[in-house]
Amino acid sequence: MTKSLFSNATYTSRWIVFLIDLSLSMQAFFFAYLIRFNFSLQFGSHDFLQQLPLVGLASILGFLIVGSFKGIVRHTGTKDAINVFWASTAVAAILFSIALITRGYGVGLLYSIPLSIISIHYLLNIVILIASRFIFKYLFDRIASNYKKPKNVLIYGAGDSGLLTYTTLSNSVSSKYKVVGFLDDAQLKIGKQFNRIRIYDPRIIDEKFIKKHDIEEVIVSIQNIKPFELFGRVDAFTSLPVTIKMVPPVKQWIDGELNVGQIKEVKIEDLLDRSPIKINNPVLRKELDNKVVLITGAAGSIGSEIANQVRKYDYKHLILLDQAESALYDLQQSFKRKEVENFSVELADIRNEDRLKTVFDNYQVDMIFHAAAYKHVPLMENNPYEAVRVNVFGSSLLMKMAISYKVQKFIMVSTDKAVNPTNVMGATKRVAEIYANCLNTQGKTKFVTTRFGNVLGSNGSVIPLFKRQIENGGPLTVTHRDITRFFMTIPEACQLVLEAGVMGNGGEIYVFDMGESVKIYDLAKKMIHLSGKKFPEEIDIKITGLRPGEKLYEELLSNEENTIPTYNEKIMIAKTENMHVDQIKLKIDALISDLNLEHVEIVKKIKGIVPEYLSNNSEFEKLDQPQVKVKTLKIS
């Protein structure tokens, strides 16, 4: 079947390109003679015609050796130009070799081309063959786009990702773009040019600039950036009359290459998981190698991500335990699709001692990641019994099993709400932390606690809530105008849990550097802007008041704690005051052994174990003695 030269569905035959290159090379030989004799036709035509077949033969050999004709003309780039250079060099080398041989041995002098002609032909070959490719590429693009006016765009990011985006747009046939400029925050880059395209300071981009340059789109192409930094940069353009598009993370590029079709209008979820997660810790690899690993709460947002990160190691067996039937089934099917080996799922409740014994009898567990917990503050404030049953009693059963079955390490996933708790949920997690410390010296099991704040996109997170409210037309609900929270992506948080679990020797509480706290009211406004709506005209924000037990500001360290650094700058060890282990353990055992009490009595017992627990905006405030809170330590 004959292929159309300018068909969108097919590529120009490589042999057509070969013949065109051969023709151009022989024409360049004629122009080499013209240039050598000052554009006069007085050179010996007989010699020229005798030598022309030799040039053609040398060109055929050179092109075949290098394969310069195999590139796709419509996608001509730097590599194609380099191939043409080497092909021209090969042709010149063949001609030089023949010229030197004929002169050295005095044979075939009719075919001896002057060295000056060969040199000129070599230079002309390079220029003409490279130029012809870019001319054909330009003509093809014009015909394929039906001479439509290209879209004027700005690329935010003049780093490697931005330059690759520029190359992708330049080579695009189906979608025509004209890159008017780059934007970059690096002061050293501002004012410079790449391929004659200026790099601008993003802060000068306003509506006047957009209209002057007829900008239709801003394409954000920044990798390795924290989500909320990206939120801020994108939000700056939401009020301008442009479409904002996003280049996906490198891990989503097809076969490591960016495709124009992947550059789409920005969505909230595109901004959430941007932080690079590099799990290449040899100590972690050694720790998990050939181990039986149990993950509780494996179907939750944190547990499932821990499972997904652990599955990349050479563990012996992976046990996924949860009581959420549907979510656990979904995780099981996901692992099967990914062809994960040596794993099993256990539908079980950590409050069921007999069921836990069955699990431990069936597997020789070496390591436990305990992520199962009740985490919703308002629900637990109204249900202290359930909070204690799961977060304290369930955790204590699991810890005792770990000691009884000689588990090597127990890593508990805790929360920043356990620090100076103001609600039942945070207080029960703090009790579980204390219990783990009490048991740390009672067996061979090393108990390690990891503590971090909110994670982006997790179950119950504010991000999914805001998305649903935007989809329903608003308003967005924020409990207080000044409320702030720490945020971290789920993959990053789980990576730090794994790393902290490895470095722990037992008894430590590891806290993570969560970065800067985020004002939830500002986050709500950004999400409204990014959804294409106007605040407050189209979607408003409603202040609902603090919920029972809710804090304005979260903390990662309590009054009595300070930190020491570790080899990972994002992980620190929280040092706590010494406890009377036996006395506190007796109090915790008393709490979980008798829960047939009124809510107030249960909470009163919790406050006896965690003296820093002062209820906020809750019915349990009446149990607190009036006192002045001590300013908490902060991570620098």
* CA triple 561-567-570, angle to 5 deg: 60
Q: Are 227 and 205 in contact (CB under 8 A)?
A: no
Average the pLDDT over each of 88-92, 453-457, 524-528 and give the range with the smallest value.
453-457
| Strands 484-485 and 518-519, bridge-based pairing | antiparallel
For 510, list phi and psi in degrees, rounded to 5.
Answer: -95, 130
What tokens appear for 166 in the block?
């520029």
In this structure, is the dihedral angle defined by the CA atoms of residues 589, 591, 595 and 597, taken in order, positive or negative? positive
| pLDDT surpassing 70 at residue 633 | no
Q: What pLDDT was estimated at residue 368?
A: 96
Contacts of 97 (CB under 8 A, 6+ apart): none
Mean pLDDT of 382-405: 95
| pLDDT surpassing 90 at residue 360 | yes
Q: What pLDDT was estimated at residue 388?
A: 95
Read off the CATH number of the domain in which 441 is found.
3.40.50.720
Q: Are 301 and 494 in contact (CB under 8 A)?
A: no
- Dist CA 25 CA 63 (whole Å): 10
164 and 121 inside one domain:
no
Count of domains observed in the chain: 3
Mean pLDDT of 13-18: 79
136 and 189 inside one domain:
no
- Dist CA 578 CA 441 (whole Å): 13
162 and 133 inside one domain:
no
Last-in-domain residue among 112, 144, 176: 144
246 and 335 inside one domain:
no
Closest CA to 341 of 307, 306, 299, 311: 311
Q: Are 393 and 401 in contact (CB under 8 A)?
A: no
Contacts of 578 (CB under 8 A, 6+ apart): none
H-helix or E-strand spanning residue 19: helix 14-36
- Dist CA 38 CA 35 (whole Å): 5
Is the model more confident about 307 or about 258? Answer: 307
Mean pLDDT of 392-406: 96
- Dist CA 165 CA 246 (whole Å): 10
Q: What pLDDT was estimated at residue 267?
A: 67
Three-state helix/strand/coil letters over 584-595: HHHHHHHHHHCC
- Dist CA 217 CA 557 (whole Å): 44
H-helix or E-strand spanning residue 33: helix 14-36
Closest CA to 78 of 133, 28, 124, 120: 133
Q: What pLDDT was estimated at residue 634?
A: 37
Q: Are 279 and 311 in contact (CB under 8 A)?
A: no
Task: Decide if 527 is inside a domain.
Answer: no
Closest CA to 469 of 519, 538, 549: 538
Identify the band that residue 8 occupies on the pLDDT scale cut at 50, 70 and 90.
very low
Task: Decide if 170 is inside a domain.
Answer: yes
| pLDDT surpassing 50 at residue 5 | no
CA 167 to chain centre: 22
| pLDDT surpassing 80 at residue 604 | yes
For 188, list phi and psi in degrees, rounded to 5.
Answer: -70, -25
What tokens appear for 384 in the block?
């202290």
Task: Decide if 543 is inside a domain.
Answer: no
Closest CA to 260 of 193, 179, 205, 189: 179
| Strands 177-183 and 243-246, bridge-based pairing | unpaired
User: What average pLDDT does the structure give for the chain?
Assistant: 83
Contacts of 347 (CB under 8 A, 6+ apart): 321, 322, 323, 325, 328
Q: Are 169 and 177 in contact (CB under 8 A)?
A: yes
Task: Decide if 99 is inside a domain.
Answer: yes
Q: Supply the angle between the helices 115-144 and 14-36 in degrees, to the nearest 10.
A: 140
Share of residues in the chain with pLDDT > 70 (%) = 85
Length of the chain: 636
For 194, list phi and psi in degrees, rounded to 5.
Answer: -125, 120
55 and 99 inside one domain:
yes
- Dist CA 162 CA 156 (whole Å): 7
Residue 88: HSE in the Cβ half-sphere, 13 Å Cα cutoff: 25
For 217, list phi and psi in degrees, rounded to 5.
Answer: -140, 150
Task: Decide if 546 is inside a domain.
Answer: no
Q: What pLDDT was estimated at residue 278?
A: 56
Task: Decide if 166 is inside a domain.
Answer: yes
Q: What pLDDT was estimated at residue 73?
A: 64
Contacts of 84 (CB under 8 A, 6+ apart): 68, 126, 129, 130, 133
- Dist CA 452 CA 467 (whole Å): 24
Identify the band that residue 431 occupies on the pLDDT scale cut at 50, 70 and 90.
very high
- Per DSSP, what are the bridge partners of residue 478? 543
Is the model more confident about 275 or about 612? Answer: 612
Question: Which residue carries 């390079």 as its tokens?
Answer: 126
Task: Decide if 129 is inside a domain.
Answer: yes
Residue 143, amino acid: I
Q: What pLDDT was estimated at residue 507?
A: 84
Q: What pLDDT was estimated at residue 322?
A: 96
Q: What pLDDT was estimated at residue 411?
A: 94
- Dist CA 563 CA 568 (whole Å): 13
Domain of 187 in residue numbering reads as 151-271
* Rounded alpha-carbon distances, angstroms, from residue 537 to 232, 476, 540, 541: 21, 13, 7, 10
425 and 361 inside one domain:
yes
- Dist CA 222 CA 224 (whole Å): 7
Closest CA to 501 of 410, 433, 574: 410
370 and 512 inside one domain:
yes
Where would I find the H helices in 520-574?
520-530
Closest CA to 237 of 291, 183, 273: 183
Last-in-domain residue among 95, 111, 144: 144
CA 441 to chain centre: 40
Strands in 335-438 per DSSP E? 343-347, 367-370, 409-415
Identify the band that residue 458 occupies on the pLDDT scale cut at 50, 70 and 90.
low
Where would I find the H helices in 338-423?
353-362, 377-382, 384-387, 395-404
Q: What pLDDT was estimated at residue 490?
A: 82
* Rounded alpha-carbon distances, angstroms, from residue 179 to 79, 151, 169, 175, 185: 22, 8, 8, 13, 18
Q: Which of 224-228, 328-332, 564-568, 588-592 holds the top average pLDDT?
A: 328-332
Mean pLDDT of 591-620: 90
Task: Decide if 280 is inside a domain.
Answer: no
| pLDDT surpassing 70 at residue 46 | no
Average the pLDDT over each of 22-31, 136-145, 400-409, 624-633 and give the range with the smallest value.
624-633
* CA triple 77-80-85, angle to 5 deg: 125
Average the pLDDT over each of 141-155, 397-411, 445-459 and give the range with the smallest value.
141-155
Classify 205 as helix, strand or coil: coil
Last-in-domain residue among 113, 144, 175: 144
Contacts of 64 (CB under 8 A, 6+ apart): none
- Per DSSP, what are the bridge partners of residue 448? 411
Mean pLDDT of 123-147: 76
140 and 155 inside one domain:
no
| Strands 217-220 and 243-246, bridge-based pairing | parallel
499 and 565 inside one domain:
yes
379 and 498 inside one domain:
yes
179 and 322 inside one domain:
no
Question: Which residue carries 């996924």 as its tokens?
Answer: 320
156 and 222 inside one domain:
yes
| pLDDT surpassing 90 at residue 44 | no
